[in-house]
Every structure is written in C-alpha cells, then in structure tokens.
Amino acid sequence: MIISGLGKAGLRSMANKGACTLMSLCLLACPVAAQTYPSRSITMIVPYAAGGPTDTVARVVADAMGRDLGQRVIVENAAGAGGTIGSLRAAKAEPNGYTLILNHIGMATAPILYPGSVDPLTSFEYIGLVADVPMTIVARRSFQPNTLKELIDYTAKQGNKITYANAGAGTASHICGVLFASETGAQPVTVPYKGTGPAMIDLLGEQVDFMCDQTTNTTNQIKSREIKAYAVTTAQRIPALVDIPSVKEAGLGNLELSIWHGIYAPKGTAAEVAARLTSALQSALKDEVVLERFNQLSALPVSNDQASAAALKAKLTSEITRWKKVLAAEIAK
C-alpha cells in the first residue's frame, strides 16, 4: 500500500501537516464568525414586568443597538423573585451572543437577598453600563400628605395603616423603601408586585398609598398630576421635574439614590462578540433619539468609558459590597 510505504517518518509528517491545516482553518473561521455576527435577531431579557422603568430603558437602548448591529434586539420580560428568574434564564442561555440581559441595581442586591441565586460575578460576561436613573417618592392622588415632611409625619403616626408598593425584594423600589424606613423610622405595610409597572397601575387606581420608583416610570404621571410627588432621590432638583424638591432639600441626604443599569451576556460568550455588543451599546448611547428620550425621562446615559466591560464589572463588584452592609437588617428579619 502507498501509506505503508511511507514509513514512520512519512506518516508523522502527514499528521503534522494535517494538524497545521486544521489549525489554520480554525484560525480563519474565528474572524469569519465574528464578522458575520449577528446573523439573526437578539433577545434582551428584562427581569422585570413590561411597562416598568427598567423595561423602558431597555426598549430605548435595544432599538438603537439593533440599528447599529443591523438586526432586531427584542426585549423579553421574565419577571419575578426580585429579578432572579430572568437572571437565571440569561445565565443558562447558550453563550452565542443572541441572549443578553439588562438589569439594574438588583443584579447586586439579589445575591444578598436571595442566597443560592445566580452569582453575577461568575455567571456573566460584561457588556457595559447604560444609564443612571433617579427615583421619585410618589403617592396616590388623594393621599393626605402634601409634602415630604408631611408624609414622614403621617407614616410615623399611621404606622401599619399605610401601604407601600414595591416590585419585590432586591428591586430598586424595595431598596428605596428600605432607605426611607431607615431614615424616617416609618413602618408601612409592604405590598410586593411583580414589577413597578403593575404597582403603578394600582397606585393610579388608589389601591395602594405610596411607592418609590424611577423617573422613567413616574415622570409622565407626575406631570399630568395623576399622582402626587414628594421628592426626587437626588442632591439637586432635576430639569424634567423642576418643581419637585430633592431629598437633600428635605434633609434626607442619606436617601440619595440613583439606579444604575448594565447589560450582560452569558458566561463563555466569545470576546469578539462581546466587544461587538459593547461597540453597539456605545453607539446607542450617542444616538440622538436615545439622548432625547432619556432626557425626557431624566435618565443620564453613561460616558463612553463607562459603557464598557471593565466599568460594569467594577461597578457591580463595589455595589455588592455596599449593599451587603445596607441590607444586613433586612436579611436578619
């Protein structure tokens, strides 16, 4: 046979040539795969209810990222358990760049409040930070208090006769409520929902008394006077709601709270794909449509440097450390 006539040296030479050829094909295939990504639509999971503040941020950014990527980025809501249901779903998705998750501060608080849930530091690749959004303390239109001071006094006197709506443990509305209680001593009855979208519906229907929610979900209702607004959780007033005082003006500086948002991909997503997604995010945050919409909602897009994997990882790590201390009392309950 021809092969037997080659001898050991010949066979070894053929094997080496075959290995080199295979390696060359792999090296050629990797850039091609990166160049062809994405070839279909991408799913962006939002671990909260449709119509809520995080959902609003996601849809604004997803549209713009889709334009840059040349494929649709479809927002899919997977609400429940303080965002952990959606996070688990994203973490288990195939790491091919076609499943993302946009989450807020809840990505840092969920591991503390839901032990055994997804570890965000080991379950995801980081795409970048998106935007910071202040919160507002709001109430049903007919609620008796008219100012933040009156609200504090009223909740102190009425105690468990007052209802406070939130989107569940670990969510932004929950965190804001924890800070409000620790600063004022108020102990209202907590009414959890599967998102502040449904909670807002009940607030508008006067089924609950008050809540704390992001400006992306409250600005329009405040301006139309469908709900009462007591304060924004910032040091200064914000342009979109210039008539609403800041918590610092009311002497509650420790209640200052801005909700950060970030985009992640499942662990193992190729570096080239993650980098392409980061580039699309950075492009989206310069898009005039995005900037105008964020301005209307008092959402502040991050800088180009912050819309990066390194910045998001650093933010998440520091926030987990921060909220472990703040939420210690909640865990002990």
Q: Specify the pLDDT at position 278.
A: 98
Provide the number of structural domains found in the chain.
Answer: 2
**Which CATH number fits the domain that encloses residue 185?**
3.40.190.10
Is position 326 within any domain? yes
Half-sphere exposure of residue 280: CA atoms within 13 angstroms, side-chain side:
26
Domain limits for position 138: 134-255
Structure tokens at 163: 């209802």
Whether 36 is in a domain gets the answer no
Q: What is the residue type of 3?
A: I
Residue 277 belongs to a domain = yes
Query: What local confidence, expressed as pLDDT, does residue 329 receive?
Result: 66
Q: How far apart are CA 234 and CA 238, in angstroms?
A: 8
Quick one: pLDDT at residue 168?
A: 83
Average pLDDT along the chain, 333 residues, taken 10 residues at a time: 44 47 47 76 95 93 98 96 93 98 93 88 97 96 95 90 91 90 90 90 97 93 96 92 92 87 98 98 98 92 97 96 80 63
Structural domain includes residue 35? no
Residue 219 sits in the same domain as residue 277: no
Are both 150 and 181 inside the same structural domain? yes
Q: What is the pTM of this model?
A: 0.83
DSSP-derived secondary structure for 5-72: GGHHHHHHHHHHHHHHHHHHHHHHHHHHHHHH--SS-EEEEESS-TTSHHHHHHHHHHHHHHHHHTS-
**What DSSP letter does each residue of 173-216 carry, written as one string?**
HHHHHHHHHHHH---PEEEE-SSHHHHHHHHHTTSS-EEEEEHH
Cα–Cα distance, 322 to 93 (Å, whole number): 29
What is the per-residue pLDDT for 33?
Answer: 52
